[in-house]
Structure formats: C-alpha cells, structure tokens
Structure 1
Amino acid sequence: MTPLAETLLNYHHRTKHTLQRYAKGPETLDWDDQPDPFRHFSGCQIVALPKPGRELDVLFSDLDKPDTVPIQPLDLANIGLLLELAFGLSAWKQYGPNRWSLRCNPSSGNLHPTEAYLLCADANIVPAGVYHYVSYDHHLEQRCQFTEALPEGEVLIGLSSVHWREAWKYGERAFRYCQHDIGHALGALRYAAATLGWKIELCSGLADADLAQLLGLDRAADFKAKEQESPDVLCRILTSVTPAACTDTALMALLPSAVWVGAAMSLGAYHLYHWPVIDQASAAAIKPRTEASSRPVVAPVVPSPSSGQHLATRLIRQRRSAQQFDGKMPPLPITDFYRLLNAVLPDTATFGFWQSPPKVHLFIFVHRVEGLTPGLYALLRDESALPALQAAMLSSFTWQKQPGGLPFYHLYAGDLKQIAKTLSCHQPIASDSAFSLAMVAEFMATIEEQPWRYRQLFWECGLIGQVLYLEAEAAGVRGTGIGCYFDDSVHEILGLKDDAFQSLYHFTVGKPLEDSRLQTFPAYGHL
C-alpha cells in the first residue's frame, strides 16, 4: 500500500462512529461563534445579477430527455439563474429569535463549506476573469481580471471547500462531509444547467494545484489562517451541441495575465479546536494532473415517467431535508420506488457528465413500499460487481433478482426498521421512512490505485443523494441524507470483514412531518 493510501485508510478508520464511541469532535459548541455561512471578499468590484426567482417553462420530467429542453442563450440573466438554482437560497426559516437560510444545494448541518466561482471569458457577459458567487446577496465579486481572452462562450464553474466550516461542528469526520457536499453541489449544478438546456463537463485532467491557481485559492495572504479553501473541481458549461474549444493548457496559459484583487473576510472570531488529521487527509488526497477521463457517449436510459408534473425550477427550489417522518405513512407506490432506483443508475442523463466507472452500490432497508416484502435489497449500479459483493457478504443472502429489468436484488426478508434506526446513530428518520439505504463503495482497490479518488467516492455518493432528494420531491415525499451512522456495524450486518467495500453515506425517503412552529420566508425577501 502506498503511503498516501495508508494515510487515507487510517483517517477513514479513525473517523468511524461506533456503538461505543463517536468520532472525535468538539466538546462544546459556541453557537454565537458559528462560522459565517456566507463568504465575502473585501476590495472587489460587485457585479449585480438579475433578480432571482425566475421560472422556466420546463418540467422536471423533461430533464430525463435533455436534448428536448430548449437551449437558453448564454447571457448574464441565465448565468445568474444557473448559479441561483445550483447554489442560491431557497427559503428562510425562523423559530423564535433564531433565523437561518436554506439553499438549493444541501449541506451537512446546514454549514455549507462549499464555495462557487465563475470563470468567464465572454466580454459580452462580464469582463474576462474569476468571480466569487455570494448566495446571500445573489451577486458576483470580481476576484481577478484576465488581460488575455479565452474563446467566446467559455464559461466554467469552480468549487472549493472550507473544511473548518464543517469541522466547527463535526470535528475529524468533517472532511468526509465536505466531500459529500461537493457531490451534492455537482448534482445541483447539473440539474440547474439542464433546466436551461445546458450540460456540464468535468475538467478532469487538472491538478488541484492548477485549480487553486485558477481560482486564486493559492494566494495564502488573501485568506485568514485556518479559513483557507481547498480546491475540488472545475466544470465546463456547455451551452450548445458543439463543445467549447478551450483546453486545460489554454486555461493555465491565462495565469500570467491575471490581475488579482480583494481578500477574504473572516468567517468567525475564534478557532477553539483544530483537527490536524483533516489536514493530513486533505494532503494525502490531493489530485495530481491526470489524463482527462471520459466514458463512452451513449443515449441515456429514460426512467419511467414521473408521477408528478412539476416545473423543474420550482421543484429545485422546494427541495428540503426532512427532519422527521410519519412512521404510519401509507406504502410508497411501487412505480415511484422503481423510478427512484432507475434515476440513480449511471446510464441516465443525470450521470452523463460523470466520467468514472460507477463504484457505489445501494443496500436498501425497505420498510413501506407497495408490493415489496420488507427486508434488505441491493441495487447494483455496475452489475459486474455482483460476484465480488456476493463473495464478500453473508452467505445466507438470497440475491434474488427482482422483476422489472433493473439490477435490483432481494437479500433478506424481515422487519429491519429497528436495525436501520440503530445503524444510523439511533435516528428515527431511518426507520419511520418508506426506505433507508447505505451507499457501499468499492473502496480499497480504488484508493490504492489512485488515493485522490477517496474524495471522488464521496462525491459519487453525494451526487446519488442529490438525485434521490429531487426525485423524492417529484414523487410527493421527501429525502434526507444521513452522515451519522455506525460504519462497522453496517458492515457487520452485511457480512463485510475487510476494507474492500465500505459504507460511505446513508439516505432515507419518506412522508415528512412538518413542524408548525417554524415560520418560512421567501429566499430573497431581504433584497
């Protein structure tokens, strides 16, 4: 095993929750010193975006066939809508004196470690440069201007993570959650682009060091100590059938002409705890330059029609994380359940930009689904993994393939509600739902071959989670991601005895119970 892979394996084991103890986190939380969820840069020119809240006449079900969605022009109004639907505010909530915002991209603990940047080369939109998106104000801050131009129409979105924002509450396990959030953000960006008839493409050959230079994240003096951002991913926005012509080399050639301004304002007054193991894991998972990866282009599989006819923009804005479920809900219709399964398969339009082979499979605790015997099931997102999973798991599992044409298998019949609840840190949302699930990744071989893909495994889980969030909304129910679970107890239930497979994320879907004590306010009423 390489030293980098060993560092990441040690981090992963160290940050597991167990029935006997939770991963190391802060002993106390000073809620008055919670990190500011909105980053601002001082000394930057502000670029106003058109008023948020615009709707498009595109149904959520239309996004299954992206080539049928009208292509919107590449202009500032539509870039603003893209940023709003991907990373903007969706509502404000208030309980007593406490008020907090919700966003279109979900985040563990609503802490939002993800920051978004626009890299634009089209002077007809904004002067060529790098812009930080401020979701609270729905505007751009110009961090950099390029004196040399890129090909007209070249627009990219860069994502980064402020690890401290998440570690403030979750301690050492926070690095995992930041990666989940990047996956959710990628999913949110893909859906936002699809409503405009656009597509996204990962700039998969860039090194993290390249991205840090392009986004100005390597400028240490511009950031307060311990509040710096780690580069994650750069996405090219494709607004027509002809891909943009700019190469990674051309992007890097812009740097000598870059003129940077501004500095990040502090996110909080105190840093009571520091978690060096996060810095170690982050360093071990840094991505070098690689060959740009790609998957064969095939016509996407279209899931069965959605039971709801919702405007895509409206459904994206109404996505919420359920806090509690109705444990007496009627069974989820089987048609909705199978659409949810179909939607997370890698050959659907949502995963068209994902360039790596699927490494994550779903193990589903079915509680209340019409026509399905309660028990444990598996959805294999790459059916070639079947022999390895069968060999690694309990020999008593039946592996009976279910009718319907999906790689969906019945493993065990029984009432698993209490087990699901216990495994997910005793949370009732895992048992009061229609179903909950564990996302199990092909783990050890992946990080041994390329340690930086440790982060990518969590991104894949977050991307799956974002699909489940929106598909649940379309089905008239609601989802919730679960980052707190007892890792090795999950493995024990499945029969896993080594690191070949690891559970990296949990999720649950059910009928939400609304808290009448909470008040809801418009997302951008403060503007």
Structure 2
Amino acid sequence: MTPQAHERLPIGDAYQQATKYHRGPGPRALPTQPREPKGSHTLPQPLTDGGSGLWSVIQARRSVREFLAQPLTREQLAQLLWATQGIREVQDGYAFRTAPSAGACYPIDTYVIANRISGLTPGLYRYEVNAASLTLLREGDLSAAIASACLGQDMAADAPAVFAWAAVPARAKGRYKERAYRYIYMDAGHLAQNLYLAATALGLGCCTIGAFFDDEVNAILGLDGTSETAVYLAVVGVPA
C-alpha cells in the first residue's frame, strides 16, 4: 500500500498498514537513554512459593528458543489453548474467557501451525473458542515458510507448535472506533503472557515473536491483512 493510500485510511487502519515489516533494510536502532534516579525506596522481598504455584511459575518464566524434537501432546495443546482463550464461565448469555479483552470484544483469533503435535496432521489450524476445537485449514509442512516469514528465526521451524494471533479490528472498532487498535495490542499481550505462564506450568518452553513480515505471515494464515491481520506469534515446545 502506498503512502498516499495510507493517508486516505482512518488513522487506526493507516497505523496498522504503515507499521508492517517488509523485506529490505530494517529500522535504525537508537541508543537507550537511561534516566538519572531521584532516590530509592526499599521494598519487601516478593513471595515465592517454592513449588508449582503462581509465584513460582512467574519466577520460572523464560523465553525459550531451542527445543527437543519431542512432539507436543494433544492434551498439552488443549491446555495451552484454554489458558490463552478458553471460556471460563458463561454469565447471562455472555462467555467470558481466561484472558481479559477490552469491552469483552475479543477481536483476536488464534491459529496454530502444527509442526509436531501427536495425533494432528501437520498444517494450519484455527482454534474455535466456543466449541473448544480445532479446524484444519491447510495441510502440509509449513515450518520453513513460517520461519522465513519470521525474519529467518529458526525457532519457528524447530518448535512443535507456532501460535499465531490475528486481529479482526471490526469487532472492537464498532465500540471503540480508531482507539480499538490500542486495545487490540493490549489484548495480544494478555494472550501471550497467559501462554508463557501456562507453558511454564506444564514444563514447556515458550517464546513470543513480534518481528515478522506481515504480508507473508498473513498469506500463510490465509488472511487479507486488512479485515483480519496477524499481530503476534509465539512458539512452544519441550525445552532443549
């Protein structure tokens, strides 16, 4: 899309298009500017429970980029999907999920690229939240394609599962107009942190991916990049 075309879009849509990564020279890195402290206050030591409870899971969370060849089980995948977007309760006809969403709009869908998951044909799946099921969208080995689309990050090919979160902006824009884009990325962060913690609790490794060629990932997912577009990815597997 040309800069002139961007100018004709509403500001939120223009932002989404203008911040896509494309193949070519990358952005110039700027040095971090530390701020001078104005004083300090000592805080109590945080609690850790020394087991598998929440505090220990938070403490143990790491970004893991190397994985064993061991596949994920369907049970592990189901638990991870529930932790990120599963329904925790239905109240007055409304289904509330495990991760928060502004206005309960839930503008983000979850796709899974199954590289090595027991009992699943390799390929692309969409998580159907209400049915707690997977829909096979595309069969075949997508590991090399998704790694290339993620700026050549090998972990996307090596991991048994790649989670791809894609936003449908219209779900949130009906309520929040152009400000919806702020909330969409907050929602993506909520999903990602839930995945990190769930993976850690299961003894698995996880790493999120924010650097990817948008149009290439959208093509793999079968999205048009406008009415629905990839916003965040993550890999999960057994740590090496």
Partner of 2:91: none
> Structure 2 matches for 1:12-161, cutoff 5 A?
12-18=16-22, 20-21=23-24, 25-26=27-28, 33-36=31-34, 41-42=37-38, 46-52=40-46, 54-56=47-49
User: Does the CA-based 8 Å contact 1:4-1:451 persist in structure 2?
Assistant: no
Q: Is the 8 A contact 1:479 1:507 kept in 2?
A: yes
Matches within 5 A, 1:10-409: 10-18=14-22, 20-21=23-24, 25-26=27-28, 33-36=31-34, 41-42=37-38, 46-52=40-46, 54-56=47-49, 310-326=52-68, 329-348=69-88, 350-351=98-99, 355-381=103-129, 405-409=131-135
2:93 is matched with none
Q: Could you tell me the percent identity over the aligned residues?
A: 27
Report deviation, 1:445.
5.8
The separation in 1 between residues aligned to 2:10 and 2:158, in whole angstroms, is: 38
Residues 316, 376 of structure 1: alpha-carbon distance in 2 compared, 3 angstrom cutoff: same
Q: Secondary structure at the match of 1:450?
A: helix
Once the two structures are superposed, the pairs formed by residues 464-475 of structure 1 within 5 Å of their partners are 464-475=191-202
State the alpha-carbon separation in 1 of the partners of residues 140 and 64 from structure 2.
Answer: 26
Name the CA distance, whole Å, in 1 between partners of 2:141 and 2:207. Answer: 21
Alignment of 1:399-438 (within 5 A): 405-438=131-164
Q: Tell me, yes or no, if the aligned pair for 1:346 and 1:352 is still in contact at 8 Å.
A: no
How far residue 366 of structure 1 moved from its aligned partner, in angstroms, is: 0.3
Alpha-carbon separation, structure 1, partners of 2:224 and 2:178? 21
Aligned partner letter, 2:197: L
CA contact (8 A) 1:5 1:451 kept: no
Amino acid at match of 1:455: R
1:334 corresponds to which letter in structure 2?
Answer: R
Greater RCO (CA < 8 Å, at least 6 residues apart): 2
CA contact (8 A) 2:74 2:118 kept: yes
Any idea what SS the aligned residue of 1:340 has? Answer: helix
Separation (CA, whole Å) in 1 of partners of 2:224 and 2:104: 26
Q: State the Cα distance separating 1:478 from its structure 2 match.
A: 0.7
Question: Residues of 1 paired with 2:234 and 2:9: CA distance?
Answer: 27
Q: Supply the distance in 1 between the matched residues of 2:185 and 2:73 (Cα, whole angstroms).
A: 29
Provide TM-score, normalisation by structure 1.
0.39
Task: Report the alpha carbon displacement of residue 442 of structure 1 after superposing the two structures with TM.
Answer: 0.7
SS at match of 1:465: helix
Structure 1 residue 7 displacement after superposition: 2.3
Mapped pair 1:8 → 2:2: no
Larger radius of gyration: 1
1:461 positional shift: 0.8
Shift of 1:41: 4.7
Structure 2 gap ranges (5+): 1-6, 89-96
Provide the rounded CA distance (Å) in 2 between the counterparts of 1:353 and 1:510. Answer: 26
1:470 to partner: Cα distance: 0.9
SS at match of 1:451: helix
Map of 2:189 onto structure 1:
462
Quote the Cα distance in structure 2 between the aligned partners of 1:10 and 1:511.
39
CA distance in 2, matches of 1:341, 1:16: 27
SS, match of residue 64 in structure 2: coil
**Is contact 1:380-1:408 (8 Å) kept?**
yes
Deviation at 1:5, TM superposition (A): 6.6
Between the aligned partners of 2:74 and 2:61, the Cα distance in structure 1 is: 22
Shift of 1:356: 2.1
The whole-number CA distance in structure 2 between the counterparts of 1:7 and 1:331 is 43
Task: Kindly indicate whether the alpha-carbon contact (under 8 Å) linking 1:366 and 1:374 is maintained by their aligned counterparts in 2.
Answer: yes
State the aligned residue count: 225
Partners in 2 of 1:50 and 1:493 — Cα distance? 48
Instruction: Letter of the 1:322 partner, please give it.
Output: V
Gaps of 5+ in 1: 60-309, 384-404, 514-527
Q: Distance in 1 between matches of 2:65 and 2:123?
A: 24
Whether the aligned pair in 2 keeps the contact of 1:445 and 1:500 (CA below 8 Å) is: no
Structure 1 492/55 Cα, relative in aligned 2: closer, same or farther at 3 Å? Answer: closer
CA distance in 1, matches of 2:172, 2:209: 23
What SS does the corresponding residue of 2:158 show, helix, strand or coil?
A: coil
User: Retained in 2: the 8 A contact 1:5–1:447?
Assistant: no
Contact conserved, 1:361 with 1:440, CA < 8 A, in 2?
Answer: yes
- Specify whether residues 450 and 41 from structure 1 end up closer, same or farther in structure 2 by C-alpha distance, changes over 3 A only: farther
CA offsets per residue over residues 3-53 of structure 1, 9 Å max, x none?
9972232222122112x326x521x66xxx5343xx6651x6x5432123x
CA contact (8 A) 2:11 2:178 kept: no
For residues 136 and 172 of structure 2, the distance between their equivalents in structure 1, rounded to whole angstroms, comes to 27
**Counterpart secondary structure, 1:507:** strand
Give the aligned CA root-mean-square deviation in angstroms.
2.7
CA separation of 1:463/1:40 partners in 2, compared to 1, >3 Å: closer, same or farther? Answer: farther
The one-letter code matched in structure 2 to 1:7 is I
